[in-house]
Structure 1
Amino acid sequence: MRFAHRTLRAIGGAAMVGALVLGTASAASADATRDDQWQNKAFDIDAVHKVATGKGVTVAVLDDGVDGKHPDITGNVLPGKRCSDGRPANEEKQDDHGSGMASLIAGHGHGPGNSEGVLGIAPDAKILPVDVFADEGGAIGSNDKFACEWDESIRYAVDQGADIISISISQTYADDVAKEAIAYALAHNVVVVQGSGNDGTDEKSGLGSVPGVTQVGGSVQNGTAWEDESYSKQLMFTAPAKDIIVATSDGGYETDDGQFIKGDYVTGDGTSMSTAIASGTFALLKQKYPDYTPGQLVNRVIKSTYIAKGVDKSKLPDAYHGYGDLSPLKALTANIPKGGADGPWDLSALPKASGDKAGGASSPATDDASSASKDDDSSNVLLYVGIGIAALVVIVVVLVIVVVTRNKNNRGGPGGPGVPGTMPPHAYQQGGYPPQPQQPGPYGQQQPPQWGPPRQ
């Protein structure tokens, strides 16, 4: 993978939130790769997949592009978009982080019975890759730039039908425009997940600090917090972050010193991995509870967490553990009340979502505007009807005057066009102009909304 050890990628205040222990999986066979996925054993992944597999759910990965031809994720990766040039983002050959995260979310493995390679938490989910970076490949450095802003990439993912947005990138800012994009996602029932980071510092002001964003920390094999996770009062829960094996792009990865090492897999540490695993879990929950809001899905997770030995449950949530460690099977099956729409968040300070899903139906955030528009339309219709009636009355009066005048002029004369009580036929009755078809009203004969590409 094209990452440095511990700090993956520094990008103008942003960083990939996964660190890499390079080379530990490069020589492993595919079946050994499956055996090394300790988090799946801890989750009892076979039991999990008897309940849900993420079928019918789309997870947007805002990251590098994804190598959609990797055998463990082939068929599960939609075209998506590279922000730098608008081309598909499912043909990544140089950067690996996005492919790694996609494999943790929706890897289905390969070989006999798909028994080899990486098995993701939601193997039947679809990945919508959104490559947010301006440059492909090259050395890692602080000069790397984004090609699209957070609001652009989030709105694109929502408009393309994403159910979950997975962001394994941390940053130190979240402006009002980004907050509006979060509100837009929530208004369309899209879960937004972001990792807390790997700096071991207090995360206060990034996207994860915005109400409505599910911020995830890292844990180790015993369920306690990973030592390098960034901590935060907004942390919701932790998920596995240590010694996590992932897929690479184009059959290898590049070390931070520019050396290319062949291998389809590599092992890494970081809350990038926690984010992907959490996003896959939300895909499972979305499949089983499709009518739940993001807040209600998060509610199921935080009320089903595993509390590791030595963690004081009475003091949770705290900045290092949130409400505890992720437990997918319990989140799927436990008897947990649905709860309020906002879940654990106070969304009152969140800006209203601006705009509506491209080609889609109105959202709660735009209902007021839609109602106002409908009221205006209704007023206009009444106005036009009134004008039409007035015009009709005038025409009738004029016609009556004309008839009366003609009758006076032809009174006592012979029959014919001037015979009392008769009027010339309308033009269309004489083979002239055809009758004009009635025009549909403002709500009649509308075209169905044009959504984005169908979900596969």
Structure 2
Amino acid sequence: MIIFIEEEEKMKNPHNNSFELLNLSGRKAYWSQGFKGENVKVAVIDTGILIDHEQFKDVKITEKSMLDDKVEPNYHGTAVASLIAGKDLGVAPSCELLSIEIKDSVGDPHLDKIAKAIIYAVDEGCDLINISYSHYANYGGVEEAIEYAEANNVLIICSSGNDGSEGKRYPAAFDETISVGGVNYDYEKIKWVTYGSTLDVCQVCENVLAAHSISSNEYALMSGTSFSTPIVTGIAALLVCKHKYFNNGKKIPVNILRYMLKNQFVKDLSIKGKDKLYGYGFCTLQPLSLILEFKIDSMEMKQNGEVIKMEEPAKIENGRTLVPLKYANDGATVLWMQEERKVKIMY
């Protein structure tokens, strides 16, 4: 069963390709090499998570609460964690998770706990920290905690925010972090995503399929930069995993990892280099170089926007959408949009 949850506004026209679109992270390119996040530990500073969800089967998860009172797991942390390490949904399904609870059961954060949570994650040997949260103000002790993480070679990846304005949100605005914005499935900026000079990269943040905390087999389509952020964290986890494999378990220097995410594993979506809407671009392990668009029964297709004649059209036959095989090689992400009578293939 799929239900809908949104952080900022009502979602419109959800795609039925959400599972396939998780591959836009480029995760398959690293999985095929045998890297799925082994020997990488990621902290999720958020609400508690439903560790009994089927997405976390065989995932090593340690829990720590920074709150005084016990609270029930919330959908937010569960969804975020599933996009990092879920067995089907996660970018790095073999990584280890440290769930650090700083938000109550309705998802409201205890701001005074963020710095302590960061320091705890570093001291527990985490390689990466995911913070799917942002605030207008630099809350006490957070900057010092981030500097502590930097000094201990731990990269923090944060959501840019969902208020639609240009400006700084914390902790994403700190230079040491990776600030993650969001786009839709057509790589267009979404109006409610926070943007500005401190934005580093973007990923899909609309109608992202993730685990829900209602039950162990519940899922939802989530929207918000809270959910583009863990995809980037998963990408970072695979980079760390590969580096450790080839360097006798040694961690990749945090400044090098940050550079790779912002410069090497991105696809420009606007002007070359960094801009306020997309940062350095769309973060992926397999930077997109080809987008093919087909209209059902048309002899024309678009290749990166250029119209090209085809020998055989895409078509619907017996209720199934068919596209010529030569256009859908291994590694492609295929969007089947029968209602719109379109097919899009992305490499």
TM-score class, shorter: 0.7 to 0.9
- Equivalent residues of 1:103, 1:120 under 8 A apart: yes
Q: 1:114-133 to 2 correspondence within 5 Å?
A: 119-133=89-103
- Give the letter aligned to residue 184 of structure 1: Y
What is the DSSP-based 3-state SS (H/G/I as helix, E as strand, rest coil) of the residue aligned with 2:241? Answer: helix
The one of 273, 278, 282 aligned to 2:236: 282
- Give the letter aligned to residue 285 of structure 1: L
- Give the letter aligned to residue 277 of structure 2: Y
Partner of 1:307: 268
**Greater mean alpha carbon deviation, residues 122-131 or residues 35-44:** 35-44
Length-normalised TM-score, structure 1: 0.56
The CA deviation at 1:74 is 2.4
What is the DSSP-based 3-state SS (H/G/I as helix, E as strand, rest coil) of the residue aligned with 2:61? Answer: coil
The one of 105, 129, 140 aligned to 2:84: 105
The one of 87, 110, 118 aligned to 1:146: 110
Partner of 2:324: none
Cα-to-partner distance string for 1:92-113 (whole Å, 9 max, x where unaligned): 754110010111000113xxxx
Q: 1:285-364 to 2 correspondence within 5 Å?
A: 285-290=239-244, 291-304=251-264, 305-308=266-269, 311-313=270-272, 316-329=273-286
Query: CA separation in 1, counterparts of 2:181 and 2:257?
Result: 18
Partner of 1:41: 23
- Equivalent residues of 1:62, 1:129 under 8 A apart: yes
Partner of 1:96: 75
What is the DSSP-based 3-state SS (H/G/I as helix, E as strand, rest coil) of the residue aligned with 1:303? Answer: helix
The one of 65, 71, 81 aligned to 2:54: 71
Q: Does 1:199 align with 2:168?
A: no
The one of 41, 45, 69 aligned to 1:58: 41
Partner of 2:336: none
What is the DSSP-based 3-state SS (H/G/I as helix, E as strand, rest coil) of the residue aligned with 1:218? Answer: strand
What is the DSSP-based 3-state SS (H/G/I as helix, E as strand, rest coil) of the residue aligned with 2:134? Answer: strand
The one of 174, 188, 207 aligned to 1:224: 188
Query: CA separation in 2, counterparts of 1:166 and 1:145?
Result: 14
Query: CA separation in 1, counterparts of 2:24 and 2:115?
Result: 36
Query: CA separation in 1, counterparts of 2:91 and 2:126?
Result: 17
Query: CA separation in 1, counterparts of 2:7 and 2:10?
Result: 6
The CA deviation at 1:227 is 2.6
Cα 1:319–1:100 shift into 2, 3 Å? same
- Give the letter aligned to residue 171 of structure 1: H
Query: CA separation in 1, counterparts of 2:109 and 2:45?
Result: 14
The CA deviation at 1:330 is 5.1
Partner of 1:247: 211
Q: Does 1:269 align with 2:223?
A: yes
- Give the letter aligned to residue 46 of structure 2: D
Cα 1:201–1:159 shift into 2, 3 Å? same
- Equivalent residues of 1:241, 1:269 under 8 A apart: yes
What is the DSSP-based 3-state SS (H/G/I as helix, E as strand, rest coil) of the residue aligned with 2:119? Answer: helix
Q: Does 1:167 align with 2:128?
A: no
- Equivalent residues of 1:104, 1:121 under 8 A apart: yes
Cα-to-partner distance string for 1:230-265 (whole Å, 9 max, x where unaligned): 00211111111111010011418xxxxxxxxxx610
What is the DSSP-based 3-state SS (H/G/I as helix, E as strand, rest coil) of the residue aligned with 1:170? Answer: coil
Query: CA separation in 1, counterparts of 2:271 and 2:275?
Result: 10
Cα-to-partner distance string for 1:198-224 (whole Å, 9 max, x where unaligned): 110123252111120111110222323
Query: CA separation in 2, counterparts of 1:163 and 1:269?
Result: 26
The CA deviation at 1:145 is 5.3
What is the DSSP-based 3-state SS (H/G/I as helix, E as strand, rest coil) of the residue aligned with 2:99? Answer: strand
Partner of 1:85: 68
How many aligned residue pairs are there?
279
Q: Percent identity?
A: 28
- Equivalent residues of 1:208, 1:234 under 8 A apart: yes
Query: CA separation in 2, counterparts of 1:86 and 1:166?
Result: 23
The CA deviation at 1:76 is 1.6
Superposed CA RMSD in Å reads 2.9
- Give the letter aligned to residue 125 of structure 1: C
Query: CA separation in 2, counterparts of 1:321 and 1:251?
Result: 35
Query: CA separation in 2, counterparts of 1:20 and 1:148?
Result: 31
- Equivalent residues of 2:66, 2:113 under 8 A apart: no
The CA deviation at 1:324 is 0.8
Cα-to-partner distance string for 1:388-445 (whole Å, 9 max, x where unaligned): xxxxxxxxxxxxxxxxxxxxxxxxxxxxxxxxxxxxxxxxxxxxxxxxxxxxxxxxxx
Q: Which runs of 5+ in 1 are unaligned?
A: 8-18, 26-31, 110-118, 253-262, 332-456
Answer 1 or 2: which has greater helix percent: 1
When Rg is computed on C-alpha atoms for both structures, the one with the higher figure is: 1
Query: CA separation in 1, counterparts of 2:111 and 2:189?
Result: 33
Q: Which runs of 5+ in 2 are unaligned?
A: 245-250, 289-347
Partner of 2:198: 234
Answer 1 or 2: which has greater strand percent: 2
The CA deviation at 1:79 is 2.5
Cα 1:199–1:183 shift into 2, 3 Å? same
Cα 1:175–1:247 shift into 2, 3 Å? closer
